[in-house]
Structure 1
Amino acid sequence: MANTPHGGVLKDLFARDAAKHDELLNEAQSLPKLKLSDRQLCDLELILNGGFSPLEGFLSEKDYIGVRDNMALADGSLWAIPINLDVSKDEIDKLSIAPGRRIVLQDSRDDNLLAIITVEDVYQPDKALEAKNVFGGDPEHPAIVYLNESVKDYYVGGKVQAISRPFHYDYVGLRHTPAELRAEFAKLGWTRVVAFQTRNPMHRAHRELTVRAARSQRANVLIQPVVGLTKPGDIDHFTRVRVYKALLPRYPNGMATLSLLPLAMRMGGPREAVWHACIRKNYGASHFIIGRDHAGPGKNSKGVDFYGPYDAQTLVESVKDKLDIEIVPFQMMTYLPDKDIYMPKDEVPEGVKTLDISGTELRRRLRLGLPIPEWFSYPEVVKVLRESNPPRVSQGFTILLSGYHNSGKDSIARALQVTLNQQGGRPSTLLLGDQVRAELSSELGFTREDREKHLARIAFVAAELSKAGAAVIASPTAPFASSRAEARKLISKSSNFFLVHVATPLEHCKANDQQGLFKLAEEGKLTGVVGVDQEYETPTDADLVVDTTKSSVREIVHEIILILESQGFFGA
C-alpha cells in the first residue's frame, strides 16, 4: 500500500535471519527471566510485530514523561498511551535489574521465551500524574483502578529483541501481523482501507455504519476487533469473533475483511482513539472510523460519563497533521421503522420515529430469552449470542451460606439441594464446609490466612461448576468480609452469586452445640473458633439475611427459592 506506517518505518522485530534467532535463543538460556502479565504480553506482541511502531521496546523514563505529559515520545513522535514494563522491588532485586542488564521476557502461560530486553533505565512513575494526564483522573476509571491496584511500583525501559511469537491456538488464520495484513491488501489491490475498531458484538447498525463509511471514502472495510484485554464484563472474544464471522457475508461482495488485534485496551477515550489510529496506520489502513464515546468506559458510580460523547473525535482532529491517517467521524446510528433503514442520528428529521436497543436491554433480552427483532440484529448473529449467553433458566449459580458454626447453615444447604433436585432443570452440587475441608483443605488450619485460602478454593470450584450450568450450594463459615468479597468477584465473572447470611445469634449456636467446639475454645483447649477467639465480620452486602431462631429451615429455603424465581432461574 502507498501509506507508510506511523513513524515512517514498520518496526517488525521478527524480520531477521534464522542465525540471529538461534544466537538470541542460545543467549536467553543463561539470562534471568521475567514472566509477563497478560497486559504485558499483549503489549510485547504488538511491539515485536510492529503494531506499536515506532516503538522498539518499553518506554524509557524520558519517553514515558513525554507521552504522559505531551502525547509525544522524546524524539517528538506522536504517541498517546504509555507502554510500560512494570516490575516490583522484589523482581528488581531477584533479577538484578539495572541499566545494561539483559533480561529474558517470558510468557507466563507456557514459559515460552519471547524476547530479550536490554535495560536502559529503571524508574518510579508518578502514578497520580499518569492517572490524571492520560485517563482524566477519576479514581473509578478502570485503567486508573488497574494502575493503582495491579501495576507494580517500578517501570523498566529498554529496547527488545524478538526470540519467538506468543503462541495462540484460537483463530490462527485471522491473526495477522502488520506486515502480513499490508501484503494481503497489496495482493487484493486495496489502496483505501477504512478500519473499524470494536470490542463488542456487531449488529445491523454497525454494518450500516461501516458500509456508509467505506462508500463515502470509496474504500474497503477492515473489521479489526480487539481480542486482547478489554473492559471487565465484556463478552468474551470467542463469542465476538463468531459474531464477526457470521456478519461478514452480510457485506457487499468483497467489501470487507476480518483481522484480529491482540491489544490490551485501557478504555482511555480520547487518548485511546489517537493510539488506535496510530496502530491502524501500522496495519495498513488509510482511514479510521471514530464514533461516539470511542473507547470510553461508560459512566462512573454517580452516573457521570468519564468522557464527553465526541471528545475522542475532537482530540484526534487536533493532532491529525501528525497522524497521517484519514479519520472518518460517525455519530450513533438509529433505525427508522417506517423506511426500514438506518441513519445517523444527527441526520434524522425532527418528528421521525426511531427505534434503538441499548446494550443493557440486549443483555436483558438474552438473559430472559426474550425476542430480539431482526431490525436490530441478524438471525445468525442472535443465534451465536444465544448459544454463549443462555437465558437465566439455563444458567448456573452459587449460593454461599455464611454464619457461625452450628448456625443451621449446613441444614439449610442440604434442604436447599433437595428442593433444587426436586425441581430439576440443572445439576446441583453441595459444598459443606467440613466436607470440603477434608477433601480440598486437609492441610489447612483455622488461622485467618488458612480460612481465606479455604474459601478461595471453594470459590474456585463453585465458579467452574456454576459456569458450566450447575447450582452450587456452599456453606463454609466464611467469617471475613474481604475473602467473601473475593469469592463474589471470582464467581460473578462467569456466573451468578448470592450471599445468604445465616444470622442465627451466637448465644443460640453455643447453647445447642452438640460437638462442644465453643466450650473447648472457651476453655483454651481449641483455637481458631469463630465467635470465641476469632471475630465474625457481619456481612453488609448479603442478598438475604435469615435466622433459624425466627424461621424454620423449610421457610428459609422457600425464601431462597423465591429470590431465584424472581430473577428468572426457573421456568414459567
Structure 2
Amino acid sequence: MTASDITPPHGGTLKELIVSPERLDALKAEAVDLPSWDLTARQVCDAELLLNGGFSPLEGFLTEADYTAVCERMRLADDSLWPIPINLDVTEAFAETLEPGSRIALRHPEGMVLAIMTVEDLYRPDFKKEAEQVYGAADPAHPEVFRLMHQTNPVYVGGRLEGLELPPHHTFKQLRHTPRELRDWFTKMGWNSVVAFQTRNPMHRAHVELAKRASQKGEANLLIHPVVGMTKPGDVDYFVRVRCYQEVVRHFPEQTTALSLLPLAMRMGGPREAVWHAIIRKNYGCARFIVGRDHAGPGKNSHGEDFYGPYEAQDLVERHQEELGIAMQPFEEMVYVEDMAQYVPRSEVPEEARVLNISGTELRRRLREGLEIPEWFSYPEVITRLRQAFPPKREQGFTVFFTGLSGSGKSTIANVLVAKLMELGTRPVTLLDGDLVRKHLSSELGFSKEHREINIKRIGYVASEITKNRGVAICAPIAPYTSTRREVREMISQYGGFVEVHVATPLEVCEERDRKGLYAKARAGLIKQFTGIDDPYQAPENPEVVVDTSQFTADELAQQIILHLEKQGFIDLQ
C-alpha cells in the first residue's frame, strides 16, 4: 500500500500518498520510461488533495465500482461516506494505450511527475446520469454539468497513486499548508477545537460577523480556509481575494484566527459539496465546520430557480453528522439592521426594522461606476483592494466577439469597429479575425469540429490576455457552437467586458456574396462539415448586440456597436 496511515491529535486517520525517500528514487527512474498524462488544472487540484491526505480516505482516482457507489448513494464501494466523484478523465486515444495493470506518470503542466498511477480499470461514464445523480439535474446552467457535458474527456481511469511530490506553488507560499502541517500547527498552538469557515468570495462585514459568532458559539478557534483552486466561472480571482482576506484577518482578535489556502477544485454541488467540504476540513484537523445559507450553490437553473434550497446543505450535513466526525455549525443569512447598527441573523430582525443589503451584483455595479460603498457593508481596506482589481468600466479591457455565418459581414464590421476605436485612442486595439488567426496561430489545424473548437479557444485565450491587460480585443470567427462560445465568454469575462455580437445575416444572402465559392463547393459535396450547409450554426440565445448586414451598412452597424459600448460605460464619446 502506498499510503501512510497517520492518526494525529486532530481529525481522523490521514492517508498521505507521498512515498518514502527510499521508494522515491526507484519511482523517479521508473517514470522516465512510462507513458505520461499531462494533468489539467482541475486534475492538478484533485491530485494535490489526494497526495497530501486532504481527500482521505481516498488513495487514488475512483475505480468504476467506487464511482458508481458515489454517484448512486454518496458512498465508496466499501460503504465509506464520500459524496463527490474524483475522476481522472482521459482521451480515447490515450485510453487505448492502457489496460489494467498499466503504470502512468501523471505530470504537472510545468513538466514534473507528481505521481505514478497503477491502472485498476478504465470505463466510459454516462455524463447525463452522473449529472442527475450528483448535481440533481442534467442542466447545463450548472457550471459542473456544463463541464461534464462539454469539457470532460470520455474515459475515466481508476487506480491508486504513489506520490513523488506535491504540485509547486509560486504565490502566497506562507499561507499554504498540508493537512499534516495544519494539524501539527494546531497542536503547537494549543488549539484543541477549530471551526473552519469556507469561502470562495471576498469577505465583508456580514461574513466576519458570522465567523466570529460561530467561533464564540462553538468555543473554538477560527480557521479561514478559502478555496484557491477552481471556483465558479466569473468569481473574483484568488489573488485579489487573498489580499482581501489578509486585510480581514486583522479585524479578528489576535491569536484566535488563522488563514490558510485550500487548493480545491469546487464542483458547486450544494448539499453534496457541503458534506465533501466537511470531510476535507476534518482531514485538515478541524472539529467544527460552518455551513451557511445556500452552501456551494451554483445560482439559478435554466428556469430561473435556485438549484438547491437555501438550507438543504445544512439538512444533508446534519443527517450525516455523526458519521462525518465533525460538528456542523449551522448559520443563517446575516443582515445589517440600520436601527440597531449591527448584523443579526435574518430570523432575529425585529418587525418594522429597516434591513440594509448590497447584493453581489450591486457591489460589482458600484465598483464599476466608482460609487460609494458604505462602511457598514465592508472594511475600507477591503474595498480599496477590490477597486484596484476592478476599476471603472472606462478603464477596463474588453472583448467584442463577433459570431455569424461565413460571408455574413463579420470581418467587414470588425475592421470598421477597430478603426473607430483607434480614432478614440483610449486603449490599444487588437483584431483577431478568423482568417488572420488561421494563418498565424492555427495554420496546422483543419476544419473538423474538434479543430474548429480548438481554434476558437485559442482566439478566446489571446483575447482574455488582451482584456486582462486592459486592452481591446475584436474577434471575428464563425464560432458556430454554443458551448465553445460559452467557454470563451467565461475565459474573458473574469478579466473585463465581453460583448457578443451576432451577425445575423440570412444564409441566402451569405451564399449570394460567396466570393470564394465555398458555399457552392459545400452544396456540391466538395467541402464537408461546412457551417450552415452540412454542419449546424447554433445561433446565440442572448447576445448583447444583433446586427444584419443585409439591412444596414458596415459603418452603420459598427456605429451601433460603438453606441452600445458607450451605453455600457466602456468608452466615452464626449
When normalised by structure 1's length, the TM-score is 0.87
Q: Describe the shift of the 1:400–1:274 C-alpha distance in structure 2 as closer, same or farther (beyond 3 A).
A: closer
1:84 is matched with: 87
Provide the rounded CA distance (Å) in 1 between the counterparts of 2:39 and 2:321: 34
Q: Describe the shift of the 1:56–1:399 C-alpha distance in structure 2 as closer, same or farther (beyond 3 A).
A: closer
Q: Describe the shift of the 1:567–1:31 C-alpha distance in structure 2 as closer, same or farther (beyond 3 A).
A: same
Bigger CA drift: 373-382 or 153-162? 153-162
2:287 is matched with: 286
Shift of 1:328: 0.7
2:13 is the counterpart of 1:25: no
Contact 1:296 1:306 in 2 (8 A): yes
2:115 is the counterpart of 1:115: yes
Equivalent residues in 2 for 1:68-467 (5 A)?
68-94=71-97, 96-98=98-100, 100-107=101-108, 109-140=109-140, 141-401=142-402, 412-431=413-432, 439-440=440-441, 456-467=457-468
Cα deviations by residue, 1:362-386 (Å, 9 ceiling, x for unpaired)? 1222222222111111111111111
Provide the rounded CA distance (Å) in 1 between the counterparts of 2:208 and 2:284: 21
Equivalent residues in 2 for 1:470-489 (5 A)?
470-475=471-476, 478=478, 480-481=480-481, 488=489
> Which amino acid in the other structure matches residue 13 of structure 1?
L
Shift of 1:46: 0.9
SS in structure 1 at match of 2:355: coil
Shift of 1:176: 0.3
Shift of 1:188: 1.3
2:64 is the counterpart of 1:61: yes
1:11 is matched with: 15
Cα deviations by residue, 1:80-105 (Å, 9 ceiling, x for unpaired)? 222223334432222x231x333222
Provide the rounded CA distance (Å) in 2 between the counterparts of 1:368 and 1:161: 51
Q: Describe the shift of the 1:159–1:519 C-alpha distance in structure 2 as closer, same or farther (beyond 3 A).
A: closer
Contact 1:503 1:545 in 2 (8 A): yes
1:43 is matched with: 46
Contact 1:528 1:534 in 2 (8 A): no
Percent identity (aligned): 51
Q: Describe the shift of the 1:48–1:422 C-alpha distance in structure 2 as closer, same or farther (beyond 3 A).
A: same
> Which amino acid in the other structure matches residue 277 of structure 2?
H
Provide the rounded CA distance (Å) in 2 between the counterparts of 1:432 and 1:132: 39
> Which amino acid in the other structure matches residue 86 of structure 1?
D
Unaligned runs of 5+ in 1: none
Provide the rounded CA distance (Å) in 2 between the counterparts of 1:570 and 1:176: 44
Shift of 1:449: 7.7
Contact 2:235 2:494 in 1 (8 A): no
Provide the rounded CA distance (Å) in 1 between the counterparts of 2:518 and 2:61: 60
Contact 2:16 2:52 in 1 (8 A): yes
Shift of 1:169: 1.0
Bigger CA drift: 360-369 or 553-562? 553-562
> Which amino acid in the other structure matches residue 259 of structure 2?
L
Provide the rounded CA distance (Å) in 1 between the counterparts of 2:178 and 2:352: 48
Contact 1:479 1:535 in 2 (8 A): no
CA RMSD of aligned residues (A): 3.5
Bigger CA drift: 264-273 or 415-424? 415-424
Provide the rounded CA distance (Å) in 2 between the counterparts of 1:5 and 1:420: 59
Equivalent residues in 2 for 1:520-539 (5 A)?
537=537, 539=539
Shift of 1:510: 8.9
Provide the rounded CA distance (Å) in 1 between the counterparts of 2:62 and 2:130: 14
Cα deviations by residue, 1:485-530 (Å, 9 ceiling, x for unpaired)? 66555444533333445567889889999xx6559979x9xx8799
Bigger CA drift: 337-346 or 499-508? 499-508
Contact 2:8 2:183 in 1 (8 A): no
Q: Describe the shift of the 1:346–1:45 C-alpha distance in structure 2 as closer, same or farther (beyond 3 A).
A: same
Bigger CA drift: 28-37 or 149-158? 149-158
> Rg bigger for which structure?
1
Cα deviations by residue, 1:200-239 (Å, 9 ceiling, x for unpaired)? 1110101111111111122211000111121122111111
Q: Describe the shift of the 1:242–1:159 C-alpha distance in structure 2 as closer, same or farther (beyond 3 A).
A: same
When normalised by structure 2's length, the TM-score is 0.87
Cα deviations by residue, 1:419-462 (Å, 9 ceiling, x for unpaired)? 32333332223445555555445667888887766655544433
Cα deviations by residue, 1:32-86 (Å, 9 ceiling, x for unpaired)? 2222222222122111111111222223333333333333333333222222233
